[in-house]
């Protein structure tokens, strides 16, 4: 699972990309309905990812994040000094025993673009509107693009 959080002037979001052992990809984009720093959004992404995997009944998970801070704190390489970061870290530590195998690794931002795109998408959505996004694969160009396109001439004169 790849996780990412985003905090910007448009809002706060989380992106999750689950790749099953059968290589089925599940994508999730969540808009946070509360203010968060970027580090808090990164922790929210991790917690949402953990919760999603547990709901799926999985007992082993390999997670990837581009947040050096979050990965370092969870692995015990960095201290959580801020009270809010300590609480987020504590929540992660409480959920870890639910897995037979749990790993969290740092990946560069360039290796986490899929989750990043989903997190950014969440920040741009209207918070109170339901949303469905269809993603399709087109094998060939639309007929309009291949053929002649009719253009109507519009003349404008003085008003």
Strand order across the 2-8 sheet: 25-31, 11-19, 2-8, 60-65, 101-106
Element (H, E) at 94: helix 83-95
What is the model's pTM? 0.81
Contact 38, 5 (CB under 8 A): yes
pLDDT score at 5:
96
Non-local (6+) Cβ contacts of 146 within 8 A are none
Question: What's the gap between Cα 64 and its chain centre?
Answer: 11
pLDDT in tens, 144-153: 555 555 555 5
Question: For the chain, what's the residue count?
Answer: 159
pLDDT score at 155:
56
Regarding the domain delimited by 2-129, which CATH topology (the fold level of the hierarchy) does it fall under?
Nucleotidyltransferase; domain 5 (3.30.420)
pLDDT score at 137:
75
Residues of the chain with pLDDT under 70: 125-131, 142-159
């Amino acid at each position: 699972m790849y996780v990412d959080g985003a905090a910007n002037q448009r809002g706060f979001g989380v992106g999750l990309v689950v790749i099953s052992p059968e290589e089925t990809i599940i994508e999730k984009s969540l808009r946070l309905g509360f203010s968060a720093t970027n580090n808090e959004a990164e922790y929210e992404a991790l917690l949402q990812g953990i919760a999603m995997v547990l709901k799926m009944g999985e007992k082993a998970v390999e997670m990837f994040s581009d947040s050096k801070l979050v990965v370092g704190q969870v692995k015990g390489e960095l201290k959580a000094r801020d009270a809010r970061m300590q609480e987020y870290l504590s929540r992660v530590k409480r959920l870890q025993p639910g897995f037979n195998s749990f790993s969290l690794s740092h990946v560069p931002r360039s290796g986490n673009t899929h989750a990043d795109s989903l997190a950014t998408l969440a920040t741009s959505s209207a918070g109170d509107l339901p949303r469905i996004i269809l993603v399709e694969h087109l094998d060939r160009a639309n007929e309009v693009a291949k053929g002649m396109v009719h253009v109507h001439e519009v003349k404008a004169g003085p008003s």
